[in-house]
Chain A
Amino acid sequence: MFRKIYRYFDILKAVASATYKEWAAYRTHSMVSIFVGPVYFLVQFFIWKAVYASRGSINGFTLEQTLTYFGISALIEYLIMDFADWNLQMLIHTGKFLTFMLKPMSHVYFAFSQKIGHRILGFIFEFTPVMLIFLLVFRITIFPVRPFWALISIILGYLMRFLVDYSIGITAFWFTKTSGIRRVFLLFRDVCSGVFFPLAFLPELWQKALMLLPFQFIAYVPIRVFIGSYELGGISCSIPQIVAIQATAVTVMAIFTIVLYKIGVRRFTGVGT
């Protein structure tokens, strides 16, 4: 048992390290975020400033809170994002996925290990510089109200994002060119995870529907935990409560992803693409 854990940790270290080195060759790609992040934030700034010109609060959020929300959302994105969907569909479409079938491990775990390596790079070249820009240039205060829970919630958001993205990639086993579906899935994911605006801004019915989906646990929940209060669809939870619910959701999603993966591999090994 212990040997198995050690082996998996060893694999994680080796794959993460190889991925880090691989992407370090493309740090300029990561550094694009240093430009794009603040630019998008600026657009949000002007939009919401204009929107708030005629009112003081929207669904309980003041202008400052809304801007803080967007700031945190951008930063959390750099901690939790990945290319799991794009990478998997590329492997499947080029047939290179075959080389993973020849290895005595699941590709899911391999991809997960890759993400760790990739995000370490992201932490250095995306998160840190943009955070400094937000803190020093835009002057947004971004300190978690309860750091311990915020950290747990972000880790869970990181896992959920991986599982959702990977599941989207798995659809490539069935669709020859998934780019169209992918785009919509990704948009859907971003909208429903609260990346584009606080989910609390949606009509209450929509909020209630979103409570049943895994997306809010990607970003919306971590952001709310960061801010210090959670509310959706008229329901409020304490921070520990919502983090526990998040953990449950991640577990369910993990099972779903692994089952979907097994079905996908079964198809791959049947048609031999």
Chain B
Amino acid sequence: MIRGLQIYLMALKHNFAARMAYRADFIFSSLMSFVSEMFIPLITFFIYEMGSSFPGWGFYEVLLLQGIFMLSNGVARLTFFGIVSSTLGHVREGTYDLLLIKPRSTLFLSIANVFSPDSIGTIFAAVYIIRLSLDKLVWPGALSWIEFLVLFLFSLMVLFSFSLFMAGSMFKWVGNSRIYEIFDSITSFGNYPATIFSKSFRILISNVIPIALLGFFPASALLGKEIEGALSAALVCIIFLALGLCFWRFMLSKYTSAGG
């Protein structure tokens, strides 16, 4: 366990130093993450500026939701999400074997190697937006924060599951970088209050693919809004994660048995 942590920290340090070697690009890249993340909130701003709204949600409430969605994505990309591109690259180059021959869990090693400092920009943007919104609203009580943290953890779980499905598919669907588009398009539902969707879609994003956990439920918890359906979404999330792990393991075993 200690050894595992040591390995993780060492990988982190190396990743960071490697990234620093391209200095101008790192600063710029982080800055650009920050800027590009502002896009959806900006659209939201324009919508409310025009006098329109999302039913039942004020501007800063929607902004909070989008900030949380952003934070979730940022933390995911910082830590584990890189396994998708890493698997994509490794399988395409035929170098995945280098991971397989090491005496550690392949999944753990994959994750350890994909720490991505670039996402710091996104996280800063998210924290900024969350702070900005909460300042304009009623600051949440302790219970709300606890509910939020729990649901936020579940949102990370959803993203982790997604990354497992995506990384797993890379073993078969070699080099298809458009997998990100599929991910982006599906999760884009998570950037808006679930109340704007039709009933069938709401069920879809809560109880089938729990995207509503990415922004809607954590934000609702923080805002003291009704979070009916969050519990079932959380349960679905656990099933989703289990399915993700099984899928990844299955695809890896098929890949290794085929000789890579």
Binary interface encoding of chain B residues 3-42 relative to chain A, with 1 for a CB under 8 A from any of its CBs, else 0: 0000000000000000000101100111111011001000
Let me know if A104 is at the binding interface, CB within 8 A.
no
Residues of chain A with a CB closer than 8 A to B43's CB: 196-197
Cα of A90 to Cα of B131 in the assembled complex, Å: 39
Residues of chain A with a CB closer than 8 A to B118's CB: 180
Cα of A26 to Cα of B181 in the assembled complex, Å: 16
Contact A184 B197 (CB under 8 A): no
Binary interface encoding of chain B residues 29-69 relative to chain A, with 1 for a CB under 8 A from any of its CBs, else 0: 11111011001000100110111111100000000000000
The residue on B at minimum CB distance from A31 is B178
Can you identify 17 A-B contacts, CB atoms within 8 angstroms? A28-B173, A35-B182, A39-B185, A39-B186, A46-B192, A50-B53, A51-B50, A52-B52, A55-B51, A175-B24, A175-B25, A176-B24, A176-B25, A177-B29, A183-B32, A184-B32, A202-B46
**B244 smallest CB distance to A (angstroms):** 19
Residues of chain A with a CB closer than 8 A to B35's CB: 184
**A positions within 8 Å CB-CB of B:** 26, 28-29, 32, 35-36, 39-40, 43, 46-47, 49-55, 58, 175-181, 183-184, 187, 191, 196-197, 201-203
Cross-chain contact of A187 among B22, B39, B53, B181 (Cβ < 8 A): B39
Let me know if B196 is at the binding interface, CB within 8 A.
yes
Cα of A51 to Cα of B52 in the assembled complex, Å: 5
B-side interface size class: 35 or more
Contact A54 B173 (CB under 8 A): no
Let me know if B160 is at the binding interface, CB within 8 A.
no
Count: A-B pairs, CB below 8 Å: 87
The residue on B at minimum CB distance from A55 is B52
**With A28-B176, A29-B178, A176-B22 known to touch, is A46 a contact of B32 (CB < 8 Å)?**
no
Residues of chain B with a CB closer than 8 A to A36's CB: 178, 181-182, 185
Let me know if B188 is at the binding interface, CB within 8 A.
yes
Contact B178 A32 (CB under 8 A): yes
Contact B36 A187 (CB under 8 A): yes
Cross-chain contact of B32 among A26, A181, A191 (Cβ < 8 A): A181
Chain A contact residues, majority secondary structure: helix
**A139 smallest CB distance to B (angstroms):** 16
**A196 smallest CB distance to B (angstroms):** 7
Cα of A53 to Cα of B55 in the assembled complex, Å: 8
Cα of A179 to Cα of B50 in the assembled complex, Å: 34
Contact B188 A40 (CB under 8 A): yes
Contact B182 A32 (CB under 8 A): yes
The list of the 10 closest CB pairs from A to B, nearest first, reads: A180-B29, A50-B196, A39-B185, A51-B52, A180-B32, A32-B178, A184-B32, A177-B25, A36-B185, A36-B181
**B245 smallest CB distance to A (angstroms):** 24
Let me know if B189 is at the binding interface, CB within 8 A.
yes
Interface residues of B in 157-210 (CB under 8 A from A): 173, 176, 178, 181-182, 185-186, 188-189, 192, 196-198, 201
